[in-house]
Amino acid sequence: MNTGQPPYPHVHQINVSDGGVPKRPVLEARVTEKGAEGDRQGNLNVHGGPDRAVCLFSLGLLERLQDEGHPIDAGSSGENLTIAGVEWNLIRPGMRLSVGPEVLLEVKSYTAPCHKNARWFRDEDYQRISQKKNPGWSRVYAKVLREGVVRPGDVVEVK
């Protein structure tokens, strides 16, 4: 079956917002040490900064959540990069990911789920993507080690 997705790990979607969720898709974004250009976080006490510059999530997990009946989609939970084709349960702090020909990220932490994501979950169970309650289902925050432009379809390599 041809899903229309490239057969390699890649950027499925790039998401930004002027603060809050959902983040909306864009055709490309320059990723700097401050995050994806055009993106802003509403609460800088828990989002943003050098160790939380980019939020990443798995397309595969989003699809599984949808199969469970959750009305979530790429960008809904606030991730900047929705990644396809990566074994997400293996992604953990300390790992590096190259994204496209230019960007290098280092995963720094799991992203705590926020109550503002409740609407994307049946029974408002936003803890469904909590690393503590459901290991392997969390978004992650990454630090930008090398800046550059990312586009949907860019290869993602776990290092």
pLDDT tens, position by position, 87-104: 999 899 999 999 999 999
pLDDT range class, residue 46, cuts 50, 70, 90: low
The rounded percent of the chain whose pLDDT value lies above 90 is 82
Provide the mean pLDDT of the chain: 92
How far, in Å, CA of 156 to CA of 159, rounded? 10
Task: Report the CATH number that the domain containing residue 59 is assigned in CATH.
Answer: 2.40.33.20
Structural domain tally of the chain? 1
Return the bridge partners of 15, or none: 25
Residue 1 within any structural domain of the chain: no
Cα gap 38→26, rounded to integer Å: 9
User: Is residue 127 in a domain?
Assistant: yes
Higher pLDDT: 98 or 114? It is 98
Q: Do the domain assignments include residue 56? A: yes
pLDDT tops 90 at residue 6: no
Instruction: Decide if 99 contacts 91 (C-beta within 8 A).
Output: no
- Does residue 4 lie in a domain region? no
Whether residue 5 is contained in a domain is answered as no
Banded model confidence at residue 7, pLDDT cuts 50, 70, 90: confident
d(CA 71, CA 142): 26
Q: Which amino acid is at 34?
A: K
Residue 40, domain member (yes or no): yes
1, pLDDT greater than 60: no
Task: Please check the confidence at residue 20 and state whether its pLDDT lies above 90.
Answer: no
pLDDT in tens, 53-83: 999 999 999 999 999 999 999 999 999 999 9
- Domain range holding 65? 10-158
For residue 137, tell me if it sits in a domain: yes
Q: Is 105 contained in some domain?
A: yes
